[in-house]
Structure 1
């Protein structure tokens, strides 16, 4: 090889060593990091290629190498099976291909090519962009007229910086600006405040979280209740409660009325039975008439005794000491024997008692003769 060609290769190596580019790719995508050289023209059998990664660690890590006719690409566990040479490295293209990018793939990559005492290197900065995660939307506050609420949106992961914006979706599904009462929190654009709510604030609110890699969004619904609705609801509730109370009162009064009527029907026969005791006492009255007849009969017997006083004087003297037996004594004994319970008079026995002659003392007969 002439001295001119060697000088040319040295100048190219110097230029390539100073070249440094930057690549930005989204996570899960593929990327090809370029590395072109001319050292394959020197000694094809002594060609040596090496890719290094300098990330947050102190020491660079080997990604892939070609040496002695063999390829080695299993140095890092995180990149194992995802790195390879993109083209024919033996013809001057040692570009590196990384598939299914991950955030850990980001860093400073260096391509080193050596051959016959000559070398070339290329520096490439790779940034793996991760789009925001699906944000979460929520609301805080009381959804009624005159009150204050806040809407918030947050994405937990993604390449910084993440920006947030809000839009309102009307009833037709079209996006528009926020209502006049809405104000964005300047220190935290993911939050907006709405004061002195009116029913016009009702609707859907769309939050968009975005960065260089892409965007994600979420929707929160706001339903402002009008003030008069509370009065209507309260009135309806009072009406229902009052109606139920009235029904309960009517049922209660009906039950009480039926119980009272049943009680009166059960007490009526008892009152009649108590009044029926009087006729039992009147059953003794015929005894008084019998006593009257007994007195008249006794008077007639006395008259007959006066007429026959001469023949019965001896009998009269013998019976003066005998106490007079009245017809009413058996009835009193019977009443005392039965606990003062009235007893029906047996008229047959009464007639026998009346037929028995009454012994009148002689002194009485003397008065009767006079």
Structure 2
């Protein structure tokens, strides 16, 4: 090999050694870290390739190496089975493949190629991005109207920084702006405050946690309880109870009215029979063929049967008012066996007898007293 070729390789090695690249990949993804060299032109007998990882620890760790014709790729326990050479490393491409990236794979990788006393190396910084874990949403405070609440959101894991954003979900499932009473806590964007709650604040709220790797969200429901709900419920219950009581009262009064009407209909004939007037006594006309004695006795009996409540004094007065037949006349009639014409009765006495019969019990007592 000419001196010019060696000088060219040395200059390239110096340039490559200063190159440094940064890669960002999401966890669980695959990545290929590039490493191209020209030392294979010097032959492959003494070719030596090595990948080193420097993470938080002080000393770098060997990831994979090719030396003496053999490959060693199980040097780091966490990366066993996940690291390999990407291509034909003996022909100038010593790129490194890492599958199923994990956060522990992040760090500064160095590719070192040595052959025949010549060196080439390159530095690559790998950042493994982990998207936020599904955040947890919760609410704190009093949900009553006029009170104050706070909505909290937090993702336990994920590559920092993690950004939080609160949005409201409408009835159609679309996200929109927060209500006017909502304010973001500037020192902690994962928290918002809502003061002087009204029915406008009722609804679903979504918190989105995001970073370079992706995003996750959670939803919390806010239901504002109206202060007058208890009064409305109590009023509704009282109204229902009052309506039922009114219906019961109307039904009860209707039943009572029907019972009363039926009772009156059944008692009406009895009252008529009790209030009926007693039949009047039949007067005997003067000059009839019957004897005065029988007429007076007949009128007296008729009076007694009609006025059941008259006292013995009434009967005495009615008897005195009728014309008397002397014992002699009565005996004479019986002896002769013939009916003798009675003496003519004074009309004034007959009228007086009728008046005595028709008197009320109170009036009869008055006459009796006299």
Q: TM-score range by the shorter chain?
A: 0.5 to 0.7
**Aligned partners of 1:99 and 1:74: how far apart in 2?**
14
Would you say 1:155 and 2:125 are equivalent positions?
Answer: no
**Aligned partners of 1:17 and 1:43: how far apart in 2?**
21
Shift of 1:236: 5.2
**Aligned partners of 1:115 and 1:239: how far apart in 2?**
99
Instruction: Describe how 1:1-370 pairs up with structure 2 within 5 A.
Output: 1-235=1-235
**Aligned partners of 2:50 and 2:242: how far apart in 1?**
89
Partner residue, 1:296:
none
Q: Structure 2: 5+ residue runs without aligned partners?
A: 244-370
- State the Cα deviation string for residues 92-126 of structure 1 (Å, max 9, x = none): 00000000000000111000000000010000111
- State the Cα deviation string for residues 289-339 of structure 1 (Å, max 9, x = none): xxxxxxxxxxxxxxxxxxxxxxxxxxxxxxxxxxxxxxxxxxxxxxxxxxx
Tell me the TM-score normalised to structure 1 length: 0.64
Shift of 1:140: 1.1
**Aligned partners of 2:176 and 2:67: how far apart in 1?**
62
Equivalent pairs, count: 245
Partner residue, 1:295:
none
Which stretch shows the higher mean deviation, 227-236 or 116-125?
227-236
Instruction: For residue 224 of structure 1, give the secondary structure of its aligned residue in structure 2.
Output: coil
Q: Structure 1: 5+ residue runs without aligned partners?
A: 244-370
Q: CA distance change for structure 1 residues 55 and 121 in 2, over 3 Å: closer, same or farther?
A: same
RMSD: 2.0
- State the Cα deviation string for residues 116-167 of structure 1 (Å, max 9, x = none): 0001000011111110000000111222211111111000000111010011
**Aligned partners of 1:47 and 1:242: how far apart in 2?**
101
Shift of 1:239: 7.8
**Aligned partners of 2:137 and 2:42: how far apart in 1?**
63
Tell me the TM-score normalised to structure 2 length: 0.64
Q: CA distance change for structure 1 residues 240 and 156 in 2, over 3 Å: closer, same or farther?
A: farther
**Aligned partners of 1:230 and 1:12: how far apart in 2?**
84
Partner residue, 1:250:
none
Instruction: For residue 145 of structure 1, give the secondary structure of its aligned residue in structure 2.
Output: coil
**Aligned partners of 1:239 and 1:143: how far apart in 2?**
28
**Aligned partners of 1:155 and 1:234: how far apart in 2?**
44
